[in-house]
Amino acid sequence: MRGYFGIGAEEMSKPMNLGALMRTSHAFGSSFFFTINAHPKVREAYNSDTSRSFDHMPYYAWDNLEAMRLPRGCALVGVELTDDAVELPRFQHPSAAAYVLGRERGSLSPELLGRCKHVVKIPTKFCLNVGLAGALVMYDRLLALGGYPARPIMPGGPKLEMTEVLKPKRDGYG
């Protein structure tokens, strides 16, 4: 997959949610993780992040929105359940993106929404847990940009064809 992405959240307050989101972002190959104005107790996330993602990717803990600095060319993508947001299955992911999710019991701040180049929503009846929402966004990015072929028309998956390297060789002895 070409490009890179990071993921984070605004005003995280629950260490277990942060740890789960960090572990999931590490599993999906995130290049960095960030928080904006996170509660000080989220530092306990180390205990719930069993993959120790802190050792494998940068973590940026910005105290406020003004302190946030993204790489040049990196599009900020808000994940928020708003009427005018693009539904995630219809969204073309930027090759360089930073996805930001809202706090556990609220929405992205109007100031942060104003800085987003794109806003997407997961087409559900109501808001999801921040860790689950992040996982769905990263999975959708993987499907969209990961080089996977179109899904088969019939139920089930395609029959896997062996490559020439893996096919058994017929050399006359067996």
C-alpha to C-alpha distance for 63 and 11, rounded to whole angstroms: 9
Instruction: Dump pLDDT digits (tens) for 89-117.
Output: 999 999 999 999 987 778 899 999 999 99
Residue 168 lies in a domain: no
- The stretch 56-62 carries a mean pLDDT of 88
C-alpha to C-alpha distance for 120 and 99, rounded to whole angstroms: 10
How many folded domains does the chain comprise? 1
Q: What is the pLDDT at residue 90?
A: 96
Residue 85 lies in a domain: yes
Q: What is the pLDDT at residue 112?
A: 96
Residue 69 lies in a domain: yes
Residue 152 lies in a domain: no
Q: What is the pLDDT at residue 151?
A: 80
Q: What is the pLDDT at residue 111?
A: 96
Q: What is the pLDDT at residue 59?
A: 87
**Residue 129, domain extent:** 4-145
Q: What is the pLDDT at residue 170?
A: 56
pTM of structure: 0.84
Residue 165 lies in a domain: no
Q: What is the pLDDT at residue 161?
A: 62
Residue 91 lies in a domain: yes
Give phi and psi for 101, each to the nearest 5.
Answer: -105, 160
Instruction: Dump pLDDT digits (tens) for 112-137.
Output: 999 999 999 999 988 888 889 999 99
Residue 33 lies in a domain: yes
Residue 40 lies in a domain: yes
pLDDT at 162 over 60: no
At 174, the pLDDT band (50, 70, 90 cuts) reads very low
Q: Residue 134: give its domain's CATH number.
A: 3.40.1280.10
Q: How far apart are the first and last CA of the chain?
A: 40
Instruction: Dump pLDDT digits (tens) for 6-52.
Output: 999 998 877 778 878 888 998 899 999 999 988 776 666 566 666 67
Question: Is 75 in contact with 69 (CB distance < 8 Å)?
Answer: no
